[in-house]
Structure 1
């Protein structure tokens, strides 16, 4: 069976918050994350709800039999976002200019339930959201130690700009960008 993809803006995504949280709670229920307060369900809920009203916020879900089995969400990258500015000169100058123009998409989260992983669904969800974004460049941050995701992003064409931390309690991330696919 093929998943059904649905798009939500920030207002509509609020209506499915609990479903999104349930997917997060399942995906991040592994020893690498369960003892870290940064990855608690409550912290994620706070980050997600804070993202809903941001410029260009969008979620794309993949459903099988009515249940979300994976999703992605992101928004237009604010040019003054601390993780972005912390990269300094490690950002290609053209990307800094595009961010100043509101022309960079920040893919904030991409997750697929364990039983639906390794079937190409993550890539389909990823491609689905960026295919219709008005921004020409996509950025994301990937936990350095998350080898499966890290390898996938590199296979998909992402380039590493440098390492960052989102917060003092967060792990180390690689900040990456995907050149224009248009």
Structure 2
């Protein structure tokens, strides 16, 4: 499997938004997400389109035979992002300072179609986006109960800072960071 990777800024990501949403719909069409309003396709589309206005927004897509089979999107972490700020003293001091300077990449979503999971594609997409970023640290939130993703991030070198909820109705997430590369 030799995927073709492509970087998209906010403007060019708008051209593939329907494809990105289609991948999301397939990835999240499984329990416990199916039927949960927090993970609805419409709410995801709204969050994705709002993310286009975030400083440093970027998505990296992976295509096989011309179709998007996985992607990541993220942006420069705003130092006042509520989930980040809610961690308080659980954040290493140097990360607080780095966020203030715009030096943390917020990996917002990473997904691969179910039929291609557990084959290393997620790691390839992850490493591709990080290799092209100016920020030296990557931060993300991962659903505590999403064992495959959670375990992968820990294997890839992420450390857990604490736990957060993105909204009262959201599941519990581990806030994680990848030390500088």
Task: Report the TM range for the smaller structure's normalisation.
Answer: over 0.9
Corresponding residue for residue 100 of structure 1: 100
Corresponding residue for residue 170 of structure 2: 170
C-alpha separation in 1, matches of 2:178 and 2:12: 27
What is the correspondence of 1:3-152 to structure 2 with a 5 Å cutoff? Answer: 3-152=3-152
Q: Cα offset for 1:35?
A: 2.0
- Structure 1, unaligned stretches of length 5 or more? none
Q: Cα offset for 1:33?
A: 0.4
- Structure 2, unaligned stretches of length 5 or more? none
Q: Cα offset for 1:138?
A: 0.2
TM-score of the superposed pair, with normalisation by structure 2: 0.99
TM-score of the superposed pair, with normalisation by structure 1: 0.99
C-alpha separation in 1, matches of 2:18 and 2:99: 31
C-alpha separation in 1, matches of 2:88 and 2:159: 16
4+ aligned runs moved over 6 Å, structure 1: none
CA contact (8 A) 1:11 1:53 kept: no
C-alpha separation in 2, matches of 1:52 and 1:11: 8
* Matched positions, count: 181
C-alpha separation in 2, matches of 1:169 and 1:75: 24
